Structure 1
Amino acid sequence: MDISTMRSIATVASLICFLGIWFWAFRRRNKDRFEEAAQLPFIED
């Protein structure tokens, strides 16, 4: 295996990880949890 093949594999693996995280972050099921977390800095104790 040469360096070009290893770079290609790393690029594809990175893209798959990015798409997986993107899909998880934008799922409708997580929307309420993320909106609640976004308001945490504004909540007064």
Structure 2
Amino acid sequence: MDQGIAGSIFTVVVFVSFVGVVWWAFNGRNKQRFDEAANLPFADEEKEESQKNKQES
């Protein structure tokens, strides 16, 4: 097997892997998990605000 064929096979394997990851990421089953993860920074802000309110009281 020469270098051209090996490079072509590697390119196809990487492309198929990329398509698999994109399909997994945009699949509907993971939407709820991703939405929860996207809102994590805002949950920290709510905790900080509630702690400040408790300290002020």
Q: TM exceeds 0.5?
A: yes
The aligned residue for residue 21 of structure 1 is 21
What number of residue pairs does the alignment pair up? 45
Query: Which consecutive residues of structure 2, in runs of 5 or more, have no partner in the other structure?
Result: 48-57
CA offset digits 1:2-29 (Å, max 9, x no partner)? 0000100000000000000001000111
The alpha carbon displacement at 1:38 in A equals 0.7
Matches within 5 A, 1:24-43: 24-43=24-43
Percent of residue pairs identical:
49
Gaps of 5+ in 1: none
Taking structure 2 as the reference length, what is the TM-score of the superposition?
0.73
Structure 2: distance between partners of 1:27 and 1:34: 11
Structure of higher CA gyration radius: 2
Which one has a larger percent helix, Structure 1 or Structure 2?
2
Q: 1:43 is paired with a residue of what secondary structure?
A: helix
Distance 1:32 1:6 in 2: 40
